[in-house]
A and B are shown apart, each in its own frame.
Chain A
């Protein structure tokens, strides 16, 4: 790809050629992201490929931002993301953010080691958002239980999803989260179809 136009340049060219922002997003960018997501799901792609695709998508999204701002293109919804309190490992959460943004979601990224009140404050600022919490370590994933409970107590009906290397659906069920997803694309597909 060296020396060739990247996703951002091609996006700009398409918009200048009169292709609608919505078509650029849904018929080009999201198709590409779905392809790499499917490859990841089949074990044919690895983290660097996901990251490169997500960064390309984000570069393209910069050109689409004015269309989101004007309302010509709508976000699918908003999602608040963070790693659980006690966990500084954020690469997985960052990939999820990039993939979801590329899938048309507005992401509010609270960073790493996020206490419950930061999630609830963000929910008050962005009502009806979905929450996504990640943990890399078994030693920190246990902190998710209190975080999920406290979010749901303070702002009932909030949907809270979890992800991270050691997590399972059984753990999600145990802590009363709304679901666990092993990779960002299956998560994006689920929340997009479940809106």
Chain B
């Protein structure tokens, strides 16, 4: 009897010999706007094994306007983003928290949490029961990114060098909200929760690894401990070169990490953590996926497989059909993954 999508993903995460490499294609709004036919064809040919549950929390009056339209939009925390390309979220121009001393003015959007939890859990359970795919929670704690959205990237970086007198308190405000959100989700019918924070620059971590361990590793450990208490898998995404902290991610209990493998030395990563964590993709978004060179896309898959794959699991065939990605290259990558 063939394994279901859910079983394939679970076997992959637990190194228990899935019958094939699970698939997870991320389709960003930009791709849906600019390549609707290609998106339809690709999703028909290469169905995902992983899906996000459709319950998304209570309706909020805080977020204003469409977050993917050109112009300005205000998110649920009051951060104002400027978008200059339809289908892609832009940048915060003017941070709401100009002075860290005013950290008490930040009010997390607790109204997003469900008031009728039983009804919410019923909705999530219905979704779960109707699919054989691996289900991710529809929430995504991002303490560092949220901190940057509130303070601006430059202020946030400098705050990390002087964490007392405000930064630690603000981080706690943010972290407490995300813990509350996760407390809801870990009790629901999902297979995994996930969180994200972009920690890497092109060639190194954004901040000193020792500082990351002191300030942020405990937050992620809290998320993982909570998830594990309810037998949920934990996924994490981070852009950039995060080679320095891979062992830390293993240690806190993350099961699968989505990272920019092509910024890092895959052979070295394999020596250190292969078999201890699942690589949730990816294929290079900077050069390979936007390129018309479909052969380069296929070779990229072969490179990932040669370094990081084993028959017991540890690889999810994840890639992003996002900004400026070439549809033909996306198809070539998916075909190559399917042949493995």
Decide: B201 and A165 in contact? CB cutoff 8 A. Answer: yes
A32 to chain B, nearest CB (A): 16
Shortest C-beta distance, A188 to chain B (Å), equals: 19
When chains A and B are docked, how far (Å) is the Cα of A167 from the Cα of B213? Answer: 30
**CB distance B202 to A91 under 8 Å?**
no
A138 touches B290 (CB 8 A): yes
**Interface: B102 (CB within 8 A):** no
* Distance (whole angstroms) from the CB of A81 to the closest CB of chain B: 15
Q: A46-B207, A138-B290, A139-B290 are in contact. Are A51 and B158 (CB under 8 A)?
A: yes
Contacts of A182 in B (CB 8 A): 203
Given contacts A47-B201, A138-B287, A139-B323, contact A91 B90 (CB under 8 A): no
A146 to B99, CA, bound (A): 39
- Complex: A94 Cα to B91 Cα, angstroms: 15
A48 within 8 A of B: yes
Q: Would you call B82 and A166 a contact (CB within 8 A)?
A: no
For A, the interface residue count at a CB cutoff of 8 angstroms equals 23
Interface flag for A52 (CB, 8 Å)? yes
Is there an interface contact between A91 and B154, defined as CB atoms closer than 8 Å? yes
By a CB distance below 8 angstroms, the chain A residues around B211 are 48
A49 close to chain B: CB less than 8 A: yes
Contact residues of A between 63 and 119, Cβ < 8 Å to B: 86, 88-91, 94, 112-113
Structural contact, A48 and B207, CB atoms closer than 8 A: yes
A182-B82 Cα distance, complex, nearest whole Å: 27
Taking a contact as CB atoms under 8 Å apart, the answer to whether B207 and A47 are in contact is yes
Q: Which residues of B contact A91 (CB under 8 A)?
A: 153-154, 157
Confirm or deny: A152 has a beta carbon within 8 angstroms of a beta carbon on chain B.
Answer: no
Instruction: Confirm or deny: A7 has a beta carbon within 8 angstroms of a beta carbon on chain B.
Output: no
Bound Cα distance from A94 to B160, whole angstroms = 18
Contact of A47 among B90, B93, B157 (CB under 8 A): B157
Binary contact track B275-312/A, C-beta < 8 Å → 1, others 0: 00000000001110010000000000000000000000
Pair B85/A138 contact, Cβ less than 8 Å: no
Chain B neighbourhood of A2, CB < 8 A: 162
Residue of A43, A51, A52 contacting most chain B CB atoms (<10 Å): A51
What residue in chain A is nearest B208 (Cβ atoms)?
A46
Nearest to A168 among chain B residues (CB) is B287
Answer yes or no: B161 CB below 8 A from chain A CBs.
Answer: yes
Partner of B157, one of A48, A112, A137: A48
A159 within 8 A of B: no
Contacts of B90 in A (CB 8 A): 88
A-side contacts of B162, CB under 8 Å: 2
Instruction: Given A138-B286, A138-B290, A139-B324, verify A48-B85 contact (CB < 8 Å).
Output: no
Q: Is the CB of A86 within 8 A of B158?
A: no
- Interface status of A55 (Cβ within 8 A of chain B): yes
Q: How far is the CB of B114 from chain A (nearest CB, A)?
A: 34
| Residues of A near any B CB (own CB < 8 A) | 2, 43, 46-49, 51-52, 55, 86, 88-91, 94, 112-113, 137-139, 165-166, 182
